[in-house]
Amino acid sequence: MKAISNKVVLATVVASILAIMPINSVFAETTTGLSTERVRLCERVSTLEDANEMAVGTNMATMRNNFSARLAQINTNKDNIDQQVEIHRQQALAKFEEKIAAMLSKEGLTDAQKQAINTFKTNMETAETAREATIDAARLAYRDGLKTLLTNQQQTLTNAAIAYQEAISNAFKTASTSCSSDSSTITTLKAAIKDARETLETSRESNKDTDAIKTLATTRNTAIQNANEAFKQSAAEYAATLATALNAATSTND
């Protein structure tokens, strides 16, 4: 997810403010009673405030668009994976049915042998259905958990961005009010911007859900692995039962 480029905005704002001529201890008085430097400072603060509002508003819109694009990409990936999984399953089923058909087409099979083959087929299909159901449930749980995490993360980041926006706006309002009489306007504004930025960065860092996503993936992968192992065990047992039945039928015929 692309982070809001607040650092760029802040760097521009701070750099612009610092570019203002240092406030001198003696000011040239204007007809309004304010020093020339103070007048220029107030005008500059007003200009920067307008530019900041526009820039932050644009970044907020970009952030929301990025959120939407990320969720859309997740859905697209899900559809692609589901399609690939379904194709693989259909191919595996076709191969299995071909093998069963080949076994049943052998000449000289007894009714008992044919029954053993059909029983094997039914058991394998049941085991495969169970495996697919377990795997699908694990994948669904992962996806639901991921969407919940992302939704919460995005809401938290949105709230943090709004709080940042308000803090910066208040800082400029304070600067606009004090610029005509307070020589520390720049210092105060810089400190407020710095605090707002640090608060936003702290929120972003604490809101990273890397570990939570890894936990979801591990849970999913473990469930899939267990389902595959259970299927392999069942398949081995069914194959052994089939072999025993076929051998017994052959011995009886002999």
Report CA Rg, the chain. 35
pLDDT of res. 250: 60
Mean pLDDT of 213-218: 94
pLDDT band at 18 (very low <50, low <70, confident <90, very high): very low
Half-sphere exposure of 27 (CA within 13 A, CB side): 20
Report whether pLDDT(204) > 70. yes
Report whether pLDDT(1) > 70. no
Tell me whether residue 156 is exposed, middle or buried, using C-beta atoms within 10 angstroms of its C-beta: 0 to 12, 13 to 18, 19 or more. Answer: middle
219 close to 143: Cβ distance less than 8 angstroms: no
Contacts of 41 (CB under 8 A, 6+ apart): 20, 23, 179, 185, 186
pTM of the predicted structure, to 2 decimals: 0.70
116 close to 238: Cβ distance less than 8 angstroms: no
pLDDT of res. 35: 63
Give residue-wise pLDDT tens across range 63-84: 888 888 888 888 889 999 999 9
Q: Cα–Cα distance between 106 and 250 in angstroms, integer?
A: 13
pLDDT of res. 225: 98
pLDDT of res. 252: 55
